[in-house]
Structure formats: C-alpha cells, structure tokens
Amino acid sequence: MKNLKKVLILRFSSYGDVAIMIPVLRVLSVNYPNVTFKVASRSKMAPLFDEFSNIQFVPIDLENDYKGLTGIFKLFSFLKKLKPTHVADLHFVIRTRILSFLFKIRGYKVRSIDKGRIEKIALTRFKNKLFEPLTPTVFRYSKVFTSLGFPIDVTKAQIPHKNILPKKMEDIFYGDKKKWIGIAPFAKHQGKVYPHDLMQKVIALLQRDYNILLLGSGVNEIKLLEVWSKAYLNCYNGSKELNFREQLMVLPFLDLMISMDSLNGHLASNAGIPVITVWGQTHPYAGFAPFGQPEKYSVCVDREKFPGIPTSIYGNHIPKGYEDAFRTIDPLTIIEKAIQIIEKNI
C-alpha cells in the first residue's frame, strides 16, 4: 500500500479545455487501474467526469474559497491533504505554477504542460505568420503524463457506450424516424460566433428533413434559441429544457453536431458522434479541433480573402477589416456537408 500512486491533475479553466482532457483520462483509467487519479477543477465541471469509476473529481470554488494569493496557499494546503504522489499541471497559469512550485519544493514529482505559446504567437501574428499545424492540445496533455511516468497512446481512447436517454426526451427522440442534428451556435468570444442570420438559414433548411437540438447557455442565448424553436417546427430548445448533465446524456443519441470552435464540439466528439466545426477568427491549426474528427469536417474562413486568419487563439481579437470574415462561409457549405455526413456520403 505504501507504493500506491496518486496523481493530482490541475486544470481550472473553461469547459472546453477541461472537456479536451476526457480522451486522455479514458486511456489513463484503463491503462493504470491501480493508480488513483484526482482531477481538481471548478465545481461546475463535475458532470464531465460522471463516466469514470476510478477517476475522482475534486470540486474547487476559486471565487469564494481560494481567492487571491492567500487563496493559493490555502488551496495548496487543501490539495496536499489529498496526499498525491504526482502532480500534473495541465493549465500552467500563475495559480497552478505557484501550486506546482510549492509541491516541487516539498519533494513531489510535478510536470506541467507546454502550451507552445511561442508557436501560437507565430501562428496568429499578421507579419511573418507561420501558418502550420501545431501539436493538438490533447497530445500536449498526454505528454505531461508520459513525463510523469504514465505513458499513454491517446489514439487508443475508447468511447463508453453506457448511454441512457433522459426520460423526458424519450417521446421527443422516438416520436418519429427523423435523424437528429445538434446545433450549438454560440461561443464565449464574438470572433468564434457564426453570424446569427446565416446560422438561421442553416437551421431553417436542415429542420425540414431533420430534427434539430439547439444548445447554448446564458439568458440571451437561450432567448434566441427559443425564438428559433418556436419559428421552426422541428427545432427543440435543449438549453431551456435540459441541464448540463442531461445534455451530456443526450449527445450520444445525436447523428451529428454542428458547433463553433467551442465546448459542444468537444463534448459531441467525446460522445462519439461526427462533428462539423465552424471556424472564424480562430483555426484548427492552433490545436483545439475536436479530437478524432476528420480535418474535412472543419469549415473555415476563406484565407485567400483574409490571410491573417487565425488572428487569435481564443477568438477574442477581431482586427479592423476582419469583421465580416465569417461571411465568406456560405450557409450552403455547412448544410451540404451536414447532409453528406448524416447520410454517410462523405
């Protein structure tokens, strides 16, 4: 028992960055059943880890319990009580760097992610841009565990198939024989949001032959989804009727997801369904494309007209003259690709 290994994993960030961890954790949980893995992250992330029996989720309330510099030391004291033998910093920001340093000087084995910041700057700058694909984030995560002594091949990740549809959705999903398409038209930053008027055209046409599950979060997003669900017969506002855990339960039953460069693309990919991602100011070359999805499922802005793309990693920067870059993506391009994929013609 003295040699029992316990790995503490740190990632206090957005849903999407945490969701990208799931394929890595799937392989770790299978390859190292006798190792205890504990993921420390924000409390709201808990449903992402429901599928695991041997990976423990440790909810952390950074805003209330561990605020500021003193909060970091308080958080370290709490995490130390978990008695880890190894620490994997998958975030590498000031908070986790301090935590990692505190663990290191006390003799713990610690490894941190290499985010490739220099390469990302080269990819997103206008002058002397180096437009080439960077290492996907999921492989950057994997490298951390390999360096800790837990080598894995993330391409061997298996998708669980213990799928249970929420009871409230049974009549809706099985009410007819139409296939289901999830559409998540929002993202945190405007530079990643396909214009609503164009997305409405995508929805209006696809809902003629398919059922559409609309997904979003926040009051304004849900209001717009409600407008669309009332305007179109075959649209269902999933964000109004389903909580986050229930949305995760529904995803495996979809036939396709259409998403921005955002959380739902990763969640759908984790659920094992095909995903079309629509890219604006960002680009799949930055390493954040949904894991395991073919490159041809990414729909990107015309770089001949907007060679500065990607202009940022997070979509939070829209340079002057690039406000309409998204409009180089015709709704018909998304519609045709969706039909090809769902009817298995691609």
pLDDT at 3 over 90: no
Q: What are phi and psi of 6, to 5 degrees?
A: -130, 120
- For 278-312, letters b (16+ CB in 10 Å) and e give bbbbbbbbbbbbbbbbeeebbbbbeeeebebbbbb
The residue among 151 and 170 whose pLDDT is bigger is 151
Q: Could you tell me whether strands 6-10 and 86-89 are parallel, antiparallel, or unpaired per DSSP bridges?
A: parallel
Instruction: Round to whole Å and give the CA distance between 310 and 327.
Output: 15
Centroid of chain to Cα 20 = 5
Closest CA relative to residue 50, chosen from 16, 25, 68: 25
- For 80-98, letters b (16+ CB in 10 Å) and e give eeeebbbbbbbbbeebbee
pLDDT at 1 over 70: no
Instruction: Round to whole Å and give the CA distance between 228 and 298.
Output: 24
Full-model pTM:
0.95
Specify whether the CB–CB gap between 297 and 268 falls below 8 A: no
User: In the structure, what pLDDT confidence band is assigned to residue 34 with cuts at 50, 70 and 90?
Assistant: very high
SS3 content of the chain, % helix, strand, coil (to 5): 40, 15, 45
∠ CA 284-286-292, nearest 5°, is 50
Model confidence over 293-312: pLDDT tens digits? 999 999 999 999 999 999 99
pLDDT at 323 over 60: yes
Closest CA relative to residue 321, chosen from 303, 306, 299: 306
Model confidence over 251-291: pLDDT tens digits? 999 999 999 999 999 999 999 999 999 999 999 999 999 99
Give me the pLDDT at residue 174, please: 86
Give me the pLDDT at residue 202, please: 98
* Cis amide linkage into residue 33, ω under 30° from 0: no
Choice among 166-175, 186-195, 335-344 with the minimum mean pLDDT: 166-175
| 318: its two tokens | 């829209």
Mean pLDDT of 126-137: 97
Give me the pLDDT at residue 252, please: 95
pLDDT at 345 over 80: no
Q: What is the mean pLDDT of the chain?
A: 95
> Residue 236 belongs to what H/E stretch?
strand 235-237
Q: Return the SS3 of 40.
A: strand
Please tell me the total number of residues recorded for the chain in this structure: 346
Terminal-to-terminal C-alpha distance of the chain: 52
